[in-house]
Amino acid sequence: MEGLFFLTIKQPRLRRGTRGEQTMKVAVVGATGLVGTKMLQVLAERNFPVTEIIPVASERSVGKEVSFKGKAYKVVSMEDGIAAKPAVAVFSAGGNTSLEWAPKYAAAGIRVIDNSSAWRMDPTKKLVVPEVNANVLTANDFIIANPNCSTIQMVVALQPLHLKYKIKRVVVSTYQSVTGTGKKAVDQLFNERKGVEGEMAYKYPIDLNVIPQIDVFLDNGYTKEEMKMVKETNKIMQDDTIRVTATTVRIPVIGGHSESVNIEFENDFELNELKTILANAPGIIVQDDLANQVYPMPLWAHDKDEVFVGRIRRDETQPNTLNMWIVSDNLRKGAATNAVQIAEYLLAANLIG
């Protein structure tokens, strides 16, 4: 049955105000959560042309207030979010909610950008990182998937190198912020740091510890998070020949995810040329000044939209192979900013507005 709702899709409405100005309604679904709050912040900071914000959340949050550009807005229900007829709805409310409600929003002519894992590997849905593959979006795409945070920052750095040297294999180990789990995990970290008893987001303490498990284990011994990085990378970069293997780890930091990435290319590279390619690529800031001990860290990436790349060096154990270190704020580029950038692309391509 999925797909049939596209037959009844209406075009999103861009209304004109009393003075003839255009109005852009934007819904943020899951507006009271960590990522939803960050989406509101990013929409404001990037000056997305919102003339009416519609914060949407579960029934238990209806009536609460959220702030957008200094003004308070009351949270509305999922049904009222549809009735408000926004041009675009940015979802960050979990996979089950998205599976139920994204098709309903899409059927009403509302472009949905979904931050959950619900639609990422659906072959009928686009999985988009704007710096890599925004050009795949068309007028027929009413549910667009936002990739996993760890995948987003990695492919931003991989894509310009793949275009030049062709990537054969990627080995990635991640060092992921507790913010990727949510507020409960942040509270656990700081409770432990203060010696306060509290609710546990993880089976084990996270302060002064490293947990080599993110999400559940699968039959092959990898976690679901690790396999997301494998499959999503191939889909976003539109190349199933790239082999990816991942180990994902939770560490006691906030501010962003870090990744140690080893890349084997089909073609050899000259290191200075490769660094120049990265420095000129959209969305990347190279921090690779070893003499002054300058390299990417979550401390510097926090609350920024870019992907930071450093420790760029040749792997001396085999030909055509590179090591580098990638850091990005997982709540911004890894979630909210990437979703807003998709909306920006839709607007520029006249697919909304």
Give the residue numbers annotated as catalytic, written as ranges: 149, 257
Q: Please say whether the beta carbons of 298 and 177 come within 8 A.
A: yes
> Exposed (0-12), middle (13-18) or buried (19+): which is 54, by Cβ within 10 Å?
buried
Tokens of 14: 């861009």
Q: Please say whether the beta carbons of 336 and 38 come within 8 A.
A: yes
Helix (H) or strand (E) segment spanning residue 214: none
What distance in Å separates the CA atoms of residue 125 and residue 115, rounded to the nearest whole number? 13
Q: Which residues pair with 171 in a beta bridge?
A: 245, 262
Tokens of 200: 């546990």
> Which residue type occupies 213?
Q
Alpha helices in the chain (DSSP H): 34-45, 78-83, 95-107, 130-133, 149-165, 183-194, 224-237, 271-280, 298-301, 337-348
> Exposed (0-12), middle (13-18) or buried (19+): which is 184, by Cβ within 10 Å?
middle
What distance in Å separates the CA atoms of residue 302 and residue 337, rounded to the nearest whole number? 13
List b or e across 303-315, with b for residues whose CB sees 16 or more CB atoms inside 10 angstroms: ebbbbbbbebeee
Q: Give the closest residue to 122 by CA, choosing from 220, 232, 223.
A: 232
> Exposed (0-12), middle (13-18) or buried (19+): which is 151, by Cβ within 10 Å?
buried
